[in-house]
Amino acid sequence: MKWSALLVAGLIGTSLAMAEPTTFVGIQKALGGSAIVEFSDGGEYIYASPQKDNRPATQAILMGPVPRQSYRYFSQAEEQALLAFKNQKLAEQVKAEVIVSRKKHVSKTQHFDWPKVVLVGNKVCVPELADADGADWKEHLTCITETGE
């Protein structure tokens, strides 16, 4: 009796020593397309052992039956609302990027304060200095006649 119990304990001990290490990967929810995947046990067990030499690592495999995944689909109204929200956020982001780009362009370009000049036939007219910044500068012009050469 003693020997048989010892033999059984030895067999169990050697089988446990040779077993692959088990890792529990806790995943509450995952996104799969337009569905939310909820794991029944809060995750899954992965059985694998790391390689100690130059061989490629083994793929992690799931032992036992695959737990049934529960999917929760969005209704059509929910999908439309999410799509409208996404489009609104993208439009705001694009608008902000365009504004920043335009401001960078304006800050880098040279600005010239061109003089106000009016050409009437062969006359060149400029506003008088006192009224050059006024709204009615066109009424206070000084003209010279340009001779054609």
Most confident of 14-18, 55-59, 66-70, 133-137: 133-137
pLDDT class of 134 with cuts at 50, 70, 90: confident
d(CA 48, CA 58): 7
Residues 117 and 125: beta-carbon distance below 8 Å: yes
Average pLDDT rounded to a whole number, residues 97-111: 85
Residue 17 binned pLDDT confidence (cut-offs 50, 70, 90): very low
Q: What is the pLDDT of residues 54-84, one digit of tens each?
A: 766 666 677 777 777 777 788 999 999 999 9
The pTM of this model reads 0.29
Does position 5 have pLDDT exceeding 70, yes or no? Answer: no
Where do the domains of the chain lie?
2-73, 114-149
What's the confidence (pLDDT) of residue 78? 92
**What is the three-class DSSP state of 86?**
helix
